Structure 1
Amino acid sequence: MVLLVRSDEKASPRPLPPQGTKEDDDARLPRGLKLCVILLSLILSILLVALDMTVIATTIPQITDEFQSLEQVGWYGSAYFLTCAAFQSVWGKAYTYFDTKATFTVGVAFFEIGTLICALSPNSTTFIVGRATTGIGGAALASGAFSIVAKIVTPKKRSMYIGFMGATFGKFKQFTVTSSLIVMIGIASVVGPLIGGFFTEYTKGSPYSGWRCCFWINVPIGILASLITVFFFHPPPSRYGSMCLREKILHMDLFGVAPLLTSMVLFLLAMRWGGTILPWSSRQVIGALAGSLICLLIFITVEWSSGEKAMMQWRFFKKYAILLNLAYVFFLSGLYMPAVYFISIQFQALEGIHPAQAGLQLIPLVLCVSIGTIIANTSISKLGWPELWLLSGPILATSGALLVYKLGSGANVERWILFQIVLGFGVGFALQTPMSINQSLVKAEDIPAIVGITLFFEMSGASLLITSCDAAFSNRLVVSLKQSNSTIDSTSVIESGAGHLRTFFNSDDLDAVLNAYQDGLNATYLVMSICGCITVGISLLSILRTKTRQSLLSV
């Protein structure tokens, strides 16, 4: 019989005590121009991470045209979010136990390699591999920004500089810190689709132009950020320098990442195959879903046995409020990110507009998300009342998704703008509220850990539900074509891509194809609406539980 022993009960090497006095440490910190240059590299790195979340939204129809890969649309967004989520904790611990400069440089290398793979990809599979590799590097850049700021400024000034990079600080029961990605994601959400649409439409003419420019521009920015870090950033030696390599690797919880990543990939494969390539009842699809569940159970077992070395410490999940907030942000993110990707397909495939114009027409959605986030964070910081945003946000977002679902093709621009505003403000009001609440529920030293866990659930929701929406889109498109009694083969529609339907199909077949597209997109909007309804239910549970506890305590 094998006994499962929690590894936090084992002795592990203690970190080396800090060397020198506080005054000596402060004297070694960069100042003036050197400090500004390092901060510039961190801002650029965070901007790259956030930009890669949305930049392909307006390029997807052209990518599917070139690769004839409409059925793989979900992977283009999911692959990035999948690895970015799974490796958040790994990189965070790497910055703790290894040299900060070397770790950041390795992270930039992953990001740049992934970017180059995307820019040079000859087919859809290679492009997806590039997106996944970029996500691994993106997780390193996001974690590295926090770690480097902590080592270049004094604690008294740290909040100011993290705020300069995008964080929001304030009072809410206790000192809380929201993700430093908030403002940068807001900027990138607005700029990303515009950049993608501009490059796709106005830089055509060679195999290395068009949508590929969205990735080429990342290369010099990433190299600049890396060079600045190498030549200007000189961190103190790691406090864990005496710890053996094996112990450092164990602390990174790679054994937990492997089954988690496998579980998520198997789920995505099942969504990819089901209904279009293979029947849902096929052995391959059922096997993928069963394998996903088994790997998830293995991950849970590994995390439980790893104790404080785990990617997700179980002590956080003992708090019911934190569990509700994690489920909340998972489904809300699953409403928002599919909207960015599939509304862009709606504009280009059904409304027949160009990529640059599609980027402009997405501005009401992404801009209102950014404004709504700032309003909610400011309100919570100054006044409290997170319940207001916790409930009103998903109600508005779900209403917006349902309005988009009922809208259909051929609607005027004014209605599209109005419905995107409703959806955008709803998501913005609610998306970062669970982050603020979760931080208020833990001790100050646990804030980085709970931020990482919350970001993991947010990105996982985006990854898994983008692919689920893609499965709904493809399945409904195939069924609609069959019901139309058209002679068009669904395979030819899927392989044609979404950017040039009107040139690929003749007038006799085009109506059936466009109707099938609209039915498929409506299926994705319905999945988004269901995610919104679940989020509303979770917010009601959270509010009712809070009120019940307050009533019991007052008795």
Structure 2
Amino acid sequence: MTPVEVPDSQKKKLTFLICLILSFTVMNGTMFNVAVPDISADFNLSPSQVSWVLTGYILVFAIGSLMYGKLADLFAIRTLFTVGIALFAFGSLLGFLSPNYTTLIIARIFQAMGGASIPALSFIIPARFMPSNRGKVFGYVASTVAFASGIGPILGGFIGGVLDWRFLFILSMMSALSIPLFRRWLPEEERRPGSVDIPGAFLIAVTVASLLMFITSLTTWMLAITVVAGGLFIWWTMKAKNPFIQPSILKNKRYTITVFTSFFGTSCLFGLIFIIPIMLRDLNAISTIGIGLVLFPGAIISGILGQYGGRVIDQRGGVPVVITALLLIASGCFLISTFAGNEAWIISICMLVAYLGFPLVQSSTADILSSVLTPEQNGVGIGLFNLLNFMGGAFSSAIFGAVLEIQGVRLQLNPLSGEGTNLIYSNVFITLTVLAAGAVTFFAIYYKRASAEFDAAN
């Protein structure tokens, strides 16, 4: 299967449509973070109950991001988009009308089942239909994610404050209007040979779901299920004729090195985005809207400059952009560690430096993966990439959330930071600095070696 290049005029329309629908999906996640207290009050829910509004969505979305990637290797993308967006819009309508908590959870699950198709397929479309401009398009896609993640909390706080949390579903419902356009602008594709490995899909779904449950709840028996299901998945993958994930993909060193680099880079970014609101509320006593305004400049500027990063990728390749992105993330984390506890506008500038790495690391790693995988492997390869990025975010949020509960911290890891209540936050951000620096060192050394080995073998 060779990539089909769509006409230039169609590329612009398709790129705009992808970015528009992707922004709905990203904001759908971030807007509901600020609506949780209102939902809890409306339905008289405990913290553990209302957490499922987010947790249920995360579980289904994470698994779906991998499943849609695999299905894209077999079925037409326009068909998958039609089904995915229809489910997403239906879940949004159900959520808007939800009279009780049970209906709301069902609505969020439908949203996740459909919404997972959007980021998964958005990273596959440039590789399949715009191969000569894929770096530029990846830049637009990643910039959209960065921008939408920044504006989501502000928009969610405004809509929830002025109207009602149910009106947050309205934007997602509007995604249904994109279905006719996707069906018109996406090329027709024939059904490709092959079948879905149902036992393998089930085992990896159980593995991912139980691991995410363990991360969020630290329930021991969930870890046991993860180990058992993961072991069975590996056994089945080695035994099956057409396994869900071909072992040859994981034997590709350039792929695995890039995926793990992205995992650690995304862990830093999501850890950063998770901790900053907590720190600003704790040390600066800022409201939810105020926190959104602190994040907003970084989201806007990174969204704009990320587009230029995509052009650099097309000209020079993704490798130097990955290194630049991780260095920006490390620098931003170090600055925040140094100035933790200072005025909010200083933190906003520090966030800007780190935020610039957000679209760059996603677009550059996606471009590299598209170039090192065969067209037949692109779907599941990008799906696994999206899944691991999601897992990285879950890991960092859970780990650093537990760390922030430690009381009476006196150890000062960053000698440039001040002492006091800011010390725990300074130490967390210097840890993120080391993690990002380690990721860039790992990538710079081992990707170069893997590329040399590949060139020598070919």
Place the TM-score, normalised by the shorter chain, in its bin: 0.7 to 0.9
Hey, what does 2:83 align to over in structure 1? 106
**1:124 CA drift (Å):** 7.5
Hey, what does 2:294 align to over in structure 1? 361
Counting aligned pairs with the same residue, the percent is 20
Tell me the amino acid that sits aligned with residue 159 of structure 1. M
Matches within 5 A, 1:91-490: 91-94=68-71, 97=74, 103-116=80-93, 118-119=95-96, 130-142=107-119, 158-159=129-130, 168-169=135-136, 178=138, 181-203=141-163, 209=164, 211-219=165-173, 221-226=174-179, 238-239=190-191, 251-274=195-218, 285-306=219-240, 308-310=242-244, 312-348=245-281, 351-371=284-304, 373-384=306-317, 386-387=319-320, 389-405=321-337, 407-409=339-341, 411-443=342-374, 446-473=377-404, 476=405, 480=407
CA distance in 2 between counterparts of 1:441 and 1:38 reads 24
CA distance in 2 between counterparts of 1:471 and 1:71 reads 16
SS of 1:252 mapped into structure 2: coil
**1:457 CA drift (Å):** 1.8
**1:111 CA drift (Å):** 1.2
Q: Structure 2 regions of 5+ residues with no counterpart?
A: 410-420
Contact 1:74–1:469 (8 Å) recurs in 2: no
Contact 1:82–1:463 (8 Å) recurs in 2: no
Tell me the amino acid that sits aligned with residue 160 of structure 2. T
Please list the CA deviations of residues 322-362 of structure 1 after superposition, one character each: whole Å capped at 9, or x if unmatched.
Answer: 22211111122122234334433444566444443332221
Hey, what does 1:21 align to over in structure 2? none
CA distance in 2 between counterparts of 1:61 and 1:347 reads 18
Q: Structure 1 regions of 5+ residues with no counterpart?
A: 1-14, 16-24, 170-176, 204-208, 275-284, 485-517
Please list the CA deviations of residues 213-254 of structure 1 after superposition, one character each: whole Å capped at 9, or x if unmatched.
Answer: 2223321x1332346668x689868446xx8xxxx7xx2334
With normalisation by structure 2, the TM-score equals 0.76
Contact 2:264–2:436 (8 Å) recurs in 1: yes
CA distance in 2 between counterparts of 1:366 and 1:317 reads 33
Q: Which has the larger radius of gyration?
A: 1
Kindly tell me the number of residue pairs found equivalent between the two proteins.
Answer: 441
Contact 1:394–1:536 (8 Å) recurs in 2: yes
**1:48 CA drift (Å):** 2.1
CA distance in 2 between counterparts of 1:117 and 1:470 reads 32
**1:148 CA drift (Å):** 8.5
Hey, what does 2:437 align to over in structure 1? 536
Tell me the amino acid that sits aligned with residue 200 of structure 2. G
CA distance in 2 between counterparts of 1:228 and 1:377 reads 25
Please list the CA deviations of residues 473-501 of structure 1 after superposition, one character each: whole Å capped at 9, or x if unmatched.
Answer: 5xx1xx64xx79xxxxxxxxxxxxxxxxx
Please list the CA deviations of residues 353-381 of structure 1 after superposition, one character each: whole Å capped at 9, or x if unmatched.
Answer: 44433322211332344345334433332
Relative to structure 1, the CA distance from residue 264 to residue 530 in structure 2 (aligned partners, 3 Å threshold; closer, same or farther) is: farther
CA distance in 2 between counterparts of 1:437 and 1:421 reads 25
CA distance in 1 between counterparts of 2:15 and 2:314 reads 25
Relative to structure 1, the CA distance from residue 183 to residue 296 in structure 2 (aligned partners, 3 Å threshold; closer, same or farther) is: same
Please list the CA deviations of residues 45-97 of structure 1 after superposition, one character each: whole Å capped at 9, or x if unmatched.
Answer: 33322332433354456556666655689766565454333223433454565
